[in-house]
Structure 1
């Protein structure tokens, strides 16, 4: 992955160290590839995500071509609870690999900085 892509998706409020690359992928703050990082933070995400944030993240991910319209409909329409939607969403993103996970984290930081901070991915609200 080239540096221009990393510069484009790097969130200044995120703790991610997106410029540290290896053959295994993009590494986050804990020295893990971003897909493994999301896997470790999965439970917090599932239990904390709100309905409005899910819809915003789905829109971002569709726009970025990380998920398809079919995936978006699956998350939105085939799950009854917010937690079920969050579970399907994060599992879809994790399955797409480190680059997609990094973009997802950036959007999460922008859309719900409190949740991102709770997950240890964001510095929190900056006054």
Structure 2
């Protein structure tokens, strides 16, 4: 055992000379870092559902260390709703993970990514699942780079809620009920008890491929005139190509409910009778 002689002493510091480092300490530091890569840590997977501001909701999936407080994460997610579900899992630093969602067909980005230790201050989504239909629940799975399942849950989804932009907020006494915005002659009765928004969902793919750009623009004009959509939604649709415009239009209206969906069906029957017959709307 040796005692280090101070080279300099100040009011706040003592300066000493260390001629060599402990070999054990150096090796152990390397071993510890290597073990952090190989040995899984206790992690958590948090889910946040963003409101359908772009026509459909987005499910954010966050892969985090297990000791991150939930309230620190939630405060940064703004209007997104935390979906409370068992979140414990084991994650390995540096390993690549991917998310799989059932039913299939939803866009998920990125396809895969490395897990890193993130202790803040910013918590961004690790994955985003674009829910272009309106499922009541999904089965979500996180897999590692060897396609091994590390977390799987059935995730119930709350019903669609749309944030109304400030410019569209109308005093309560001046609001027109949705059913009164649609003229009586334009309301389409439910077919065999199937609500109008469910009928739109059943023909969504055919509508996207069958509606021409000219028809879509006429539908947008009619829906704006009847106050089913607002100016912001109108302009957003106008910037998209035909397929994206059709997808945005039908999903935006579906999420507004059966009365709005009924108005779209009636407008389509008026603008394009041929397509309406193909979709069994008349």
TM-score by length of 1: 0.75
Which structure 2 segments of 5+ residues have no match?
A: 1-177
The one of the two structures with greater contact order (alpha-carbon pairs below 8 A, sep at least 6) is: 1
Q: Which has the larger radius of gyration?
A: 2
1:92 aligns with 2:252: yes
The whole-number CA distance in structure 2 between the counterparts of 1:2 and 1:85 is 25
CA contact (8 A) 1:30 1:37 kept: no
Asked if the contact 2:197–2:258 (Cα under 8 Å) also holds between the matched residues in 1, the reply is: yes
Which of 236, 243, 263 is 1:83 aligned to?
243
Distance 1:74 1:49, change over 3 A: same
Cα deviation for residue 31 of structure 1 reads 2.3
Give the whole-Å Cα distance in 2 for the aligned partners of 1:38 and 1:112: 15
What is aligned with 2:186?
9
Q: 1:2 Cα deviation (Å)?
A: 7.7
Once the two structures are TM-superposed, the CA of residue 45 in structure 1 deviates from its matched residue by 0.3
Identify, as 1 or 2, the structure richer in strand: 2
Partner of 1:33: 195
List gaps (5 residues or longer) in structure 1.
11-15, 19-27, 123-127
Greater helix fraction, Structure 1 or Structure 2: 1
Correspondence list, 1:99-118, <5 A = 99-118=259-278
CA distance in 2 between partners of 1:53 and 1:89 (Å): 12
| Runs of 4+ deviating beyond 6 Å | none
CA displacement, residues 6-48 of structure 1 (integer Å, 9 cap, x when unaligned)? 73324xxxxx5x2xxxxxxxxx224211101100111110010
Please give the TM-score of this superposition, normalised by the length of structure 2.
0.35
* CA RMSD of superposed structures (Å): 2.0
1:56 corresponds to 2:227:
no
